Amino acid sequence: MKKGKKTAMFRFVRAFALQLSLLGAFAALWPGRVAASGLPYETYYRDGFGQTVKTQAAYLPAGLIKLDFNGPQDLFVDEKDHIYVADTGNNRIVHLDRDGTFVREIVVPESPLSRPSGVFVDGNGDIYVADTGNARIVRLNAEGRLVKAFGRPASAYIPDSFKYEPVRVVVDKRGFLFVTSLGAYQGLVQLDPDGGFVGFFGPNKAPFTLFDAFKRLVYTREMYAREPKKRPPAVTSADIDRDGFIYTVTREATRDQIKRLNMAGVDQLPGKGDFHHLQPVRSYGEILHPRSDSPSPQLVDLTVDDDGNVTVVDAVHDVVSQYDRNGNLLFFWGTEMLTAAAKTGVVRAPAAIDQNSAGDLLILDGTNNLIHVLRRSEFGSLVHRANALTQAGRYEESEPLWEEVHRLNERYTPALIGLAKAAYKKERFDRAQELFHRAGVVGGYSESFWQNRLRWFQRHFGLAMNGLAGAALLAFAIRKVRRRRRTGRTGAAERTPAAIRPGNAGSGVSVAAQLKHAFTVLRHPADGFYAIRHEGKAGAAGSLVLFVLAMAAFAFIQAKTAFVFNPWQRLGVELPPLLVQFAGIWIGWVVSNYLTGSLFRGEGRFRDVLYGSAYALFPLVLIGVPKTVLSHALTLNEAALFRFLDTVMMVWIALLFIRLVQGVHNYAFSEAVAVTAASLLALAVLVAMLFILLGLGLELVQFLKSIYQEVIVR
Amino acid sequence: MNGRRIRVLRFIRPVLAALALAAMGGLAVRILFFPSGSPAAGEAAGGWSEAAGFPRVKPGLPEERHFERMAENDAFLLLADRTTAHFRLVDKRSGITWRSYPDPAHWEAEGVSETWKRHLASPILFDYVDADHYKSLPVTGSLMASGGVLEHFARTDRGFAVTFSFPELGLKIPAEVSLYGRYVETRIHDEGIAEEGPNLLLNVKLYPLFGAEPSLGQEGYLFIPDGSGALIRFEQDRAMPQLVYNESVYGNDLSFFHEQTNRQRVLMPVYGLKSGDRAFVAIITEGEAYAHVFAAPSGAVGRFNWVTAEWQYRKRFFQSVGRHTGEGFYAYGREPFAASGRATRYYPLLPGESDYAGMAAVYRTYLMEELGVRPQVPEPGDVPLFVDVLGADNEKGWFGDRYLKVTTWEEAGRIIRAIREAGAGRIRVNAIGWQQGGYSDYGGHFPADARLGGSRGLKAFIADAHALGIPVFLGADYTLNANGKDGFWWRRDGLRNPAGAVPEKRDDRDREPARYVSALFYRETLLSDLPDYEALGADGIYFENGIGQQASTDYNPRYRSTREEAIAVQVELLRRTKARLGSAVGHNPNFYAVPQLDHVHLLADGHSHDVFAAEEVPFAQIVLHGLRTYTLGYSNARDEWRDGFLRSIEYGAYPAYLLGAASADDLRRSYGDWPPGLDYRNWLETIRREVREAAEALGDVTDRFITGHHTPAPGVKVTEYGDARRIIVNYNPTDVQLDGRVIPAKDFVVVKGGE
């Protein structure tokens, strides 16, 4: 398709930030085709592969609560669904009932509040206020009278430079306080019910990248001292669930923003999600259309329900994301349209979030002094019910619910995962394996496959054992025969070389011999490559065959490695671009190695490097193909074996390439390593130059074409 | 001799230099001191008001005793004041007086600035801009704040005519107020508008504060045509009070700038106000394509709630100066929008019908009597079920777009048979995605794609459907083109804005954008395609998205057209489609298309969730019921199954489904936005239930008008069809008692006439 090719080339060039914009484009607003109800936001789900699908709304706008707040910073919903708002600018706590009607305001006359930024109400009705302006936590009884004030804790473990600015507080069942202090990178301040310092709780990890390591190595002490301190980001807010787990959320972190901490302060979330094989490092807080230059989400608050579902709000993108107790994403919603019109349900710059017993979310808008109420939709309730059962291990009960979810939304992957787990529990391992594969869950697929494999072995045990025994006998017999034949032959005379074939480059060695030379190269690489240069043991035909075999093996590895070891293959493998890249890099290597070699006084001719590079790829065929075939019979339990084969293959190929340089150019080993490195560098430069030229060339063609078109139109 | 010549030469250079300097100085003086052109203009302006001899209008509300009788009929009496051009309308039936200015009783408490007090008290409010300086900002002017005078105040046989003149600005705007049978009409005469001087009119609000009332705790609301209709209730303590509603009738004009508000399109040129027992509804009857509906709840602009039509004369467009950098500036066109006329009618309502249902009845009567809309609805019986069958869509492939086959025509035949067996008596099918290349391959519809069965397969499917008594409509969008078929070359035939740019629609960042097609071009394309539709046996065309939804001013030199002309083209195409094929179906269409359409598909069913809009009302549905069949969104795309179903019962809408033979999972990466549940096999049971329940509620009233709609209790809605039937819907999760009846939770009750 002519148009198709044009689009492909455009995509090719786009990677180099050459915006080809035609006559001032004016993108039009696209009216939502299906959503005639005009919700101001769209709800999505994203799976482990990053595939985003739209779903029905999980929460629907259910109204606004408006009162005379002044820059409120926190809100809390107690067990009776009464709402407490930390009305920071007015130095008070406002108490509303479940409909948002004003009940009372709490100022503590005996010891007035100053800029309270956090509020928490425990099971007895006692109100804890993070009285930021007075650097203390106050505990009030249900009537609002002061019971105790917790000032800055005194302890030898707290550095003098520590600034105590409590902004949030949560209290557990025993009465221990976990105070979020502004900018405290040490974590939450844990106090006992009397105000004594227990310790710092749940700190984040300091981010340390490779670049930082490089700087540490290379910079002088003075320069490094001037670098910004590598401190962990401070916890922004915390919540506690009914089991006593503390959930923290951190605004400035870029990974593991949400933590679920047990009593010991250990994060329970890593490694628990269904997609943890695809996403070893989790980043919470979804963005609607992630681009390379999108700012990271800034999660400012979270709320946890009785099932452990965590809902977080992102202040930068105004997106609300919801995860279940194991960190699996359930929904996220938001809108990209920055409108001049304010909408119910779209909170700009959210300050806090909480939920009531009916499952309604309440999001505090600190700038407009509003609380947006979102109620859970039918679909949202259905998913929550089904997922609660699945996470609790009650898989069979969850099955009919997940069936209904799947009927309503055929793209919603958690439904497939729920059904797969139910099938696994019911021991329908075939169905489980198929569903896990569809959902893209490696762990579950591997487990189901293990079960299926076990069953297969159990069924075919007899046949398998007979086959093995037969193969062993056969191998033994062949070896016996071969040994007899070898001793029978007298004088290991060399075979006469095959007839010279017309068109055979080099010294007239047959194709078969050339191919056999590949094995020689494997066994004695340096000699083998030397033979290619000086004894003409390789030829065009043989190298071509080997290269084609290697490409085919590469394609086979890319496309056919089992799902367990290459989950991304489930999205579909685009072979042509991969093969083109493979061939391109290979040819580039050959060219740059020849050029570099000739610079460094190597003896190799171009065709020697060419042939040799084809031979060096042989382990791809020898190990790669069997490894790929084997991968279909392995599970994650045997991953070590697979990785081992993989490593052997890659290392062998690397070594062969170095031996190639050594043998063909006749270097010592150390020289060969240096020249290989130089060749790779040359290759990089070559590739960059090629891309630039291509891009500029296309741009020029576009330019000429548009001039032509403009002239024609005028 | 030589010596003398040399001496002359020596003088020439300095003389020339002096002349040049003088010229530059003169130019500089002119530019600096007479920026608005020749010094003569200033004189003329100053002399204008003197020559005219009219006194400036004094700021403030008119005094009641100065009003003279202008016109009268059996129901109304029109009075006007010569000094301010305000009028009063007395409804003789109810005794209610309507004022074109704020109620004097509440005027004292008005707390806005002095300038705005003058604006609000004026009969005319407008925005203008100084066109000579491209960076100048729009300025708001009004009769009393901009030194306006009333020229030529004259009685007419139906009322009065006056010219609002602004000597200092160089603007004149002639207007007329006339009393007709049941309404008063305010009109602007574009042909008499004068813009002498640098100032250009941007928009005009005529009698904006007609019927305005403050929020004093009374029951009242502003009705705005947001989506299906929305109410902005009178509230005293409003959240974010500064917000206003300002939206273009019939949607935005793509050739001009519009603010991103993420609101539903305005389908109907109607608005209204209710305060206690008083209510009026206004219909913009002429030039509505160039009008915005502007609503200011109390606290936004003064303490009064007011709603009016804002007539647009010029809009900004983006003039790009750098293609790669995207830089540019906003400019106004020189020529104003040429409307065929600009008129608004105000219909005061009687106290018994003073709600939005009463307003809808007035608009419905207007459609029937003045626009000739005849009822075209099925007889009572089964409710029609609308099934949209998706043929194919596209997704991004390696070297171009990949074709995603969803339903072949053979499978489509199986789908309709299965649905018929599920108990749907009356089915109507819209086939979409049948065109060459798939649904998202804009442009070039024929021949029908062979991968689904081609023209033969489609024809056979249509014949099968006809055998079952099911009409089939083919969906098409002629306003976009991405592949250059139909002889379309976007540089030659694309819709252009005043800067010469062609608007585009992007499905995906990596995909070639689709361009908007000029109206006169797609007119030819559609007319030449009509015989092909006929050959397939289609019963009509389902006009998706473009025609009926979107009309823009076109500056393409080959296909120049104004917005009104583009609308006329669309109306003509609908009419000719109907004449040739028998039927035309619209997709959430603007109401200019309703007279030609047989069915309104996917009508808006909600509002835009603005912070100020408290409630959505089924205004559009009340207008249409009994005139046309309509559906709301697809049932299988509902956010909430049960609530969405109850809403369609409440709104009198028939069920609609979008189905296919493949799973929605296969369409995960498609360009189009499809319901998450698409496979028809999963929905047969649901269809059976929904059709049965809908028939129970709506089957007997397919040909009746909705005469009333109200909310007797929180979460409970009542829809009345004259005396024949009342449908009570309960959205609460608990049962509700109403008039001795129990309405079960999340359910509805049908009360037949006489009970």
- Predicted confidence at residue B43, as pLDDT, reads 40
Give the residues across from B728 on adjacent strands: B718, B749
Report whether B256 contacts B316 (CB < 8 A).
yes
Contact B608 A5 (CB under 8 A): no
When pLDDT is cut at 50, 70 and 90, the band that residue A529 belongs to is: confident
- Predicted confidence at residue B40, as pLDDT, reads 41
Look at residue B322 and tell me whether its pLDDT is greater than 80. Answer: no
| Selected residues 69-88 of chain A with any CB under 8 Å from a CB in chain B | none
DSSP three-state, residue B65: helix
Among B512, B513, B609, beta carbon nearest to A38 = B609
pLDDT: is A225 or A645 the higher one? A645
Look at residue B627 and tell me whether its pLDDT is greater than 90. Answer: yes
| Number of cross-chain residue pairs from A and B with Cβ atoms under 8 Å apart | 208
| Selected residues 339-358 of chain A with any CB under 8 Å from a CB in chain B | 339-346
pLDDT: is B22 or B268 the higher one? B268
What is d(CA B599, CA B627) in angstroms, rounded to the nearest whole number? 9
Look at residue A489 and tell me whether its pLDDT is greater than 80. Answer: no
- Predicted confidence at residue A37, as pLDDT, reads 52
Give the residues across from B224 on adjacent strands: B230
Look at residue A32 and tell me whether its pLDDT is greater than 80. Answer: no
Q: What is the DSSP string of B98-167?
A: EESS--GGGTTT--S-HHHHHHHHSSEEEEEEETTSTTPPPEEEETTTTT-EEEEEEE-SSEEEEEEEET
Report in angstroms the alpha-carbon separations of B559 from A18, B390, B502, B555, B682.
33, 33, 13, 7, 48
- The pairing of beta strand A350-355 with beta strand A329-334: unpaired
- At A402-435, the pLDDT tens digits run 999 999 999 999 999 999 999 999 999 999 999 9
Candidates A2, A12, A14, A26: best to mutate against B (most CBs of B within 10 A) is A26
Average pLDDT on A124-153 reads 92
- The pairing of beta strand A197-201 with beta strand A188-191: antiparallel
Look at residue A703 and tell me whether its pLDDT is greater than 80. Answer: yes
pLDDT: is B410 or A33 the higher one? B410
Contact A378 B632 (CB under 8 A): no
For B423, left (φ over 0), alpha (ψ -120 to 50), or beta? left
Nearest to B205 by CA among B133, B296, B277: B296
- Predicted confidence at residue A519, as pLDDT, reads 87
- Predicted confidence at residue A10, as pLDDT, reads 47
Average pLDDT on B215-235 reads 93
Q: What angle do CA B336, B341, B344 make, to 5 degrees?
A: 115
Which two structure tokens, joined as six digits, stand for B273?
A: 């106000």
When pLDDT is cut at 50, 70 and 90, the band that residue A488 belongs to is: low
Report in angstroms the alpha-carbon separations of B388 from A354, B245, B332, B438, B621.
41, 34, 43, 15, 21
Average pLDDT on A249-270 reads 91
Nearest to B289 by CA among B554, B563, B691: B563
Q: What is the end-to-end Cα distance of chain A in Å, rounded?
A: 29
B338 to chain A, closest Cα gap in Å: 24
When pLDDT is cut at 50, 70 and 90, the band that residue A334 belongs to is: very high
- At B293-302, the pLDDT tens digits run 999 999 999 8
Look at residue B699 and tell me whether its pLDDT is greater than 80. Answer: yes
Which chain A positions have a beta carbon within 8 Å of B483's beta carbon? 3
DSSP three-state, residue B66: helix
Among B264, B549, B677, beta carbon nearest to A410 = B677
- Predicted confidence at residue A26, as pLDDT, reads 39
- Predicted confidence at residue A20, as pLDDT, reads 33
Look at residue B54 and tell me whether its pLDDT is greater than 80. Answer: no
What is d(CA B166, CA A556) in angstroms, rounded to the nearest whole number? 81
pLDDT: is B355 or A515 the higher one? B355
- Predicted confidence at residue A695, as pLDDT, reads 94
Give the chain A residue nearest B602 (alpha carbons). Answer: A36
Candidates B399, B406, B558, B666: best to mutate against A (most CBs of A within 10 A) is B399
Mean pLDDT of chain A: 87
- Predicted confidence at residue A8, as pLDDT, reads 54
Which two structure tokens, joined as six digits, stand for A130?
A: 């993070």
CA dihedral A174, A179, A180, A181 (to 10 degrees): -170
- Predicted confidence at residue A11, as pLDDT, reads 55
Q: Name, in order, each residue with C-beta under 8 angstroms of A108's C-beta and a sequence gap of 6 or more.
A: A129, A138, A140, A144, A145, A146
Among B638, B643, B673, beta carbon nearest to A32 = B673
- Predicted confidence at residue A540, as pLDDT, reads 86
DSSP three-state, residue B290: helix
pLDDT: is A444 or A532 the higher one? A444
Look at residue B53 and tell me whether its pLDDT is greater than 70. Answer: no
Look at residue A491 and tell me whether its pLDDT is greater than 70. Answer: no
- Predicted confidence at residue B48, as pLDDT, reads 44
The type of residue at B204 is V
- Predicted confidence at residue B754, as pLDDT, reads 65
Average pLDDT on B524-540 reads 94
Report whether B375 contacts B703 (CB < 8 A).
yes
- At B104-151, the pLDDT tens digits run 999 988 889 999 999 999 999 999 999 887 778 999 999 999 989 998
DSSP three-state, residue A479: helix
Contact A38 B633 (CB under 8 A): no
List b or e across B348-363, with b for residues whose CB sees 16 or more CB atoms inside 10 angstroms.
bbeeeebbbbbbbbbb
Residue A148: other Cβ atoms inside 10 A: 15
Mean pLDDT of chain B: 90
When pLDDT is cut at 50, 70 and 90, the band that residue B241 belongs to is: confident
Candidates A3, A7, A37, A411: best to mutate against B (most CBs of B within 10 A) is A37
Distance of CA B463 to the CA centre of its chain: 38
What is d(CA B265, CA B268) in angstroms, rounded to the nearest whole number? 9
Distance of CA A124 to the CA centre of its chain: 43
Look at residue A97 and tell me whether its pLDDT is greater than 60. Answer: yes
- Predicted confidence at residue A16, as pLDDT, reads 37
Contact A38 B607 (CB under 8 A): yes
- At B485-496, the pLDDT tens digits run 999 998 899 999
Among B604, B665, B673, beta carbon nearest to A34 = B673
List b or e across B202-226, with b for residues whose CB sees 16 or more CB atoms inside 10 angstroms.
bbbbbbbbbbbbbbeeeebbbbbbb
What is d(CA B11, CA B292) in angstroms, rounded to the nearest whole number? 67
Contact A11 B323 (CB under 8 A): no
Tell me the percentage of chain A whose pLDDT exceeds 90: 57
Q: Tell whether A575 is within 8 A of chain B (Cβ).
A: no
The type of residue at A48 is G
B260 to chain A, closest Cα gap in Å: 5
Average pLDDT on B587-598 reads 94
E-assigned strands of B299-457? 304-312, 316-320, 328-332, 342-349, 384-390, 392-396, 401-405, 426-432
DSSP three-state, residue B335: coil
When pLDDT is cut at 50, 70 and 90, the band that residue A25 belongs to is: very low
Q: Name, in order, each residue with C-beta under 8 angstroms of B512's C-beta and a sequence gap of 6 or more.
A: A3, A7, B482
Q: What is the DSSP string of A199-249?
A: EEE-PPPPP--HHHHHHHHHS-HHHHHTSPP--PPPP-EEEE-TT--EEEE
Nearest to B414 by CA among B198, B679, B633: B679
Contact B240 A370 (CB under 8 A): yes
Residue B235, phi then psi, degrees to nearest 5: -135, 150
Q: Which of the residue ranges A219-228, A650-659, B6-15 would you say has the lowest mean pLDDT?
A: B6-15
Nearest to B666 by CA among B658, B680, B678, B681: B678
Report in angstroms the alpha-carbon separations of A709 from A700, A705, A706, B321.
14, 6, 5, 19
- Predicted confidence at residue A341, as pLDDT, reads 74
Which chain B positions have a beta carbon within 8 Å of A27's beta carbon? 503-506, 513
Report in angstroms the alpha-carbon separations of B349 from B100, B284, B305, B706.
16, 17, 18, 17
What is d(CA B730, CA B541) in angstroms, rounded to the nearest whole number? 37
When pLDDT is cut at 50, 70 and 90, the band that residue B159 belongs to is: very high
Report whether B254 contacts B497 (CB < 8 A).
yes
Look at residue A508 and tell me whether its pLDDT is greater than 70. Answer: no
Report whether B202 contacts B314 (CB < 8 A).
yes
Candidates A34, A46, A705: best to mutate against B (most CBs of B within 10 A) is A34
Give the residues across from B308 on adjacent strands: B294
- Predicted confidence at residue B242, as pLDDT, reads 87
